[in-house]
Every structure is written in C-alpha cells, then in structure tokens.
Amino acid sequence: MYQIRFGTDGWREIIADGFTVENVRRVANATAQWLDQSGLEKSCVVGYDCRFGGELFAKETARQLAYSGVHVIISNGFVSTPMISLATNKLKAGAGVIITASHNPPSYNGYKIKAHYGGPAIPGEVAKLESMIPESPVEAGDSFDTYLEKGMVEYGDFETLYYEHCLNSFDMGALEDLSKGLVYDAMFGSGQSIVKRLLPKSRILHGNYNPSFEGRSPEPIVKNLPEIRSIIANDDSFVCGLATDGDADRIGWFDEKGNFIDSHHLILLLIEYLITYKGYTGKVVKSFSVSDAVQRLCDLKGLEVITTKIGFKYICEHMVNDDVLIGAEESGGIAIKGHIPERDGVWMGLVLMEYMAKSKKTVSALIQDLYKKVGTFAVERYDIYVNNKLKESIIENCKSRSYSAFGKYKIVSIEEIDGYKFRLENGSWVMIRPSGTEPVLRIYAESTDSASSFAILDATKTSILNQ
C-alpha cells in the first residue's frame, strides 16, 4: 500500500507515480470522513490549478465526496489556491480542496485542504485527516455527471467571487493607472486570468495555459524570472514587477530598476503600509527563517512578534485564533489583516501597488525609508545536496553543540525552533535546516549586506562539509 503523507502544505507526488486517481480517491474518502466528524457543514468547495490532470483529479474528488453525502461546489475552470480559500469562507462551506502542487516541478500534482475560515487546516486537523486515509478507496456509485444531475455537485465561479472581493477592497482606479507600469509574470500559473481582469493595462508574461511550465518549476524566485528582470531594467516605462507561483499563493516582486525584492523586505513594506496608511494593528507572526529586521521594526512600532516553525499552517493557526496584522514566510507566502488567513500572491501585489500609489514613491525609495529605521540587511540561502548519511551527521553535530565557530565566525548562542539558528559574534546569524523529503540542507544567513551574508554561508558550508 502506498503511504500518503501530508507535508508542510498538503500532499504532493509525481503524477502517475504516487499521485494517481486511486490515491486521490483515498484522500477524498478521508476528507469526507473528516468533514463528517468535524460537525461542520457537510459541503466542500473543490478546484484545480493549471497543472496536468487537474480537472480530472478535481472531478474525481467531487465524485467521492458526493458519494459520501457531501454537497460539492466545483470550480468552472482553473483557479488559484486563494480563490478556493476565499470561496470556502464566503460560501460557508465546511472545507475546501484544491488540486495543486504549488511551485513544484511540472511532473507533480497535489491535494491541499482548506478549513471553513478560509485558510490551511491547522496541523492537528491535518493529522486527523491523514489518519483516516483508507488502505484502498471506496468506489463511488455514480459518475460525476450523475451527481451533477442529482444536485449533489454544482459548478461555482470562484474567480468572479474573488474579483468582486478585490473591487470592494482596493482603490482600483489608482491601481489601474499604476498598472500601465506593471509587468506580471504568471509563470503559466492560475493567477493569469484574474490579473488580466483586474489590471488589463499591465504587461503579461507566460499568461497562457501550459501545464509543462516550459520545463521549469513555477516558483517566483530570482533565478526563474530572467525575462521580467530584463524588461523592467531596460524600459523606464515600467515601475514594478509581480510574479506568482503555480497556484498564485506566493509572490515575487521587482522594483523599478529590475531588482528582485525578497520577502523579508516585502514583509517590512507591508507592516509599514498597514500601520501608516490603513491604521491597522496586531501581532506579527513570522517563520523561523525570516529576517531580524522584522523584529527591529516591530520594536519601533510596539508590535508583538511571534516566531513559528516553517510552514504556513503554523502561522495560520495564530491568525485564526488571535489578532494578527501579518503572517509571513521567507518563501514568499504572506497573509495580512483585512483578507483571509491565507497566502495570496496577487493580493499582496495589489497592496504593494496601492502603497506606491498612495505614497507616490517608488519601491526602492520606500525601501530606503525602511533602512533608515531598521538598518541595511540581507538574507541569503544555499541549498546543499548531500547524501542522507552526511545530512544526518551534520544535524547530529548541530544537536550536540559540536560547532563553536564557522571559520572566523564565532557562535554565541543557538535557537532550535525549526532547525538550528546560530547567533554569531558580529550580530549576524546562520541557520541550518534539513529538508524532510530530500537529501538537502538549507543554510540561511543574515548580515548587513549580501556579500557579508554569502561570506558566512561559504564559511559555514566549508565547516560542515569538511568535518
């Protein structure tokens, strides 16, 4: 029996290997049982993004749920993950499901669970669902079309629901004017249609249906976005750039010079905007790998900071149960007050554009304003591929406190929320965290500038590999 495990954000596998119709049926059976035992409304919103087989797997999920007595509202086309989360909340459904593998390579697909509040199901609930996955699927009695005719399944227009939510939340006139200077890279993902509707004057890249993603993982990181960088850098008419991943819940952002602006800086910009222009307040929830600059800004603003393990589901748990201004990850997943407790790349792009419009400043000018408050900084990362034996040895050395320095950088303290963060003598830090699914070590470093951060990364890499 193939064992299905939910990771930091859903279950993902290679299509036709682990991600099969039979295994999707098993997870759908568990979803129905979990929903039945939750005491919530026995209804479920179901959707799919632009990946291969998405509609097929979504319809099979709907069929299994309907067989178990769950009323299903399924998307009438591809949608983003935030659209499913919003629809789950707005339509008062007991749960939501989206078939997506997010930013994974094109050979993957996946299954994400959304809770009634419009965000990821919290870890405890995901564990319950996982424990209910049967060894073999229960065969649904009727076809998808039959359940459609019976009224157990109906179609929903979740993109229009999201579109209208945006119209009611933003000054779209100001954004439309600014959008003439926007380049948007959809990365062949499910953000393409909604951005065309919201910002029709923007320049769209890779905004067509192509489940191969031209062989590239649809992850909005700088190495995957050479075209948008070049266009902005060589054309003064463009003032910013937006990119979103395969299911449009992560953001990539560029300033007017074509420079990539990482999530650490975006978190600071959003905090500043939400407090100064929107008048919001609340706690700031960040994952363990986020810059210390966030703490420094929050200290200036009198905001409490909560640090979680890596994975948005841990952040979401705080957003659902507390007064949270912003919840954010280093990887580009950000959620804010005034929206659902869900990462949303398109929404964050609209907020940043609104900030530019209201402040009448460029992205780089806004960042310079921040540096005057928190100082300059840079967080850099290496992904080091090692065999599992060496990976386990390095982690054991971290655990046993075997490292006293990485090259010339002396360690003064260690934090262990998720992985190992080594505080260094010069006020910088380096963090070592193993991947749970690959023979990979992720090493992060923060210092006053990029060159200093890379110097720490190089010294750390040399130290741990030459043990």
Domains, the chain, in order of start with CATH, read: 11-158 (3.40.120.10), 169-374 (3.40.120.10), 378-465 (3.30.310.50)
Question: Inter-axis angle of helices 363-374 and 263-276, to 10 degrees?
Answer: 90
- Which positions ≥6 away from 139 have C-beta within 8 Å? 25
Quick one: tokens of 101?
């593998």
pLDDT at residue 437 above 80?
no
Please give the Cα distance from 343 to 86 (Å, whole number): 11
pLDDT in tens, 145-200: 999 999 999 999 999 999 999 999 999 999 989 999 999 999 999 999 999 999 99
Q: 393 in helix, strand or coil?
A: helix
pLDDT in tens, 115-153: 999 999 999 999 999 999 999 998 888 999 999 999 999
pLDDT at residue 432 above 70?
yes
pLDDT at residue 426 above 90?
no
State mean pLDDT over 52-68. Answer: 97
pLDDT in tens, 69-113: 999 999 999 999 999 999 999 999 999 999 999 999 999 999 999
pLDDT at residue 68 above 90?
yes
- Which positions ≥6 away from 347 have C-beta within 8 Å? 82, 166, 336, 339
Angle, vertex CA 192, rays to CA 364 and CA 311, nearest 5: 70
388: confidence class by pLDDT, cuts 50, 70, 90: confident
Angle, vertex CA 174, rays to CA 172 and CA 180, nearest 5: 100
Output the CA torsion 401→403→408→410 (10° steps).
0
State mean pLDDT over 197-213. Answer: 97
- Which positions ≥6 away from 412 have C-beta within 8 Å? 423, 424, 425
Question: Inter-axis angle of helices 388-399 and 450-465, to 10 degrees?
Answer: 110
State mean pLDDT over 418-437. Answer: 91
Range from 131-140, 371-380, 397-406 carrying the lowest mean pLDDT? 131-140
Q: What is the reported pLDDT for 129?
A: 96
pLDDT at residue 467 above 90?
no
435: confidence class by pLDDT, cuts 50, 70, 90: confident
Single-letter code of the amino acid located at 226: P
Q: What is the reported pLDDT for 170?
A: 96
pLDDT at residue 205 above 70?
yes
Q: What is the reported pLDDT for 141?
A: 83
Portion of the chain with pLDDT greater than 70, in percent: 99
438 vs 223, 224, 392, 442, 467, CA distance in Å? 21, 21, 12, 11, 21
Residue in the block written with tokens 């759908």: 28
Classify the phi-psi angles of 361: left when phi > 0, otherwise alpha if psi is within -120 to 50, otherwise beta: beta
pLDDT in tens, 302-311: 999 999 999 8
pLDDT in tens, 103-121: 999 999 999 999 999 999 9
Please give the Cα distance from 366 to 360 (Å, whole number): 10
Residue in the block written with tokens 């420079």: 259
CB atoms within 10 A of CB 426: 14
CB atoms within 10 A of CB 3: 9
Please give the Cα distance from 207 to 195 (Å, whole number): 9
Single-letter code of the amino acid located at 160: T
Q: How many residues does the chain have?
A: 467
44: confidence class by pLDDT, cuts 50, 70, 90: very high
Please give the Cα distance from 63 to 73 (Å, whole number): 11
pLDDT at residue 8 above 90?
no
pLDDT at residue 237 above 70?
yes
State mean pLDDT over 312-327. Answer: 95
Show the beta-strand stretches assigned E in 94-248: 95-99, 108-115, 153-156, 182-185, 203-205, 240-244
Q: 69 in helix, strand or coil?
A: coil
Q: What is the reported pLDDT for 438?
A: 65
Question: Inter-axis angle of helices 345-359 and 263-276, to 10 degrees?
Answer: 60
Please give the Cα distance from 277 to 365 (Å, whole number): 17
Q: What is the reported pLDDT for 439?
A: 74
State mean pLDDT over 23-40. Answer: 95
Element (H, E) at 201: none
Q: 156 in helix, strand or coil?
A: strand
Q: What is the reported pLDDT for 156?
A: 98
HSE, CB side, 13 Å, CA atoms: give it for residue 465: 13
pLDDT at residue 370 above 80?
yes
Average pLDDT, the chain: 95
Whose CA is closest to 50, among 199, 260, 194? 194
| Contact status, residue 420 vs residue 358, Cβ threshold 8 Å | no
**396, exposed or middle or buried, with CB in 10 Å at 0-12, 13-18, 19+?**
exposed
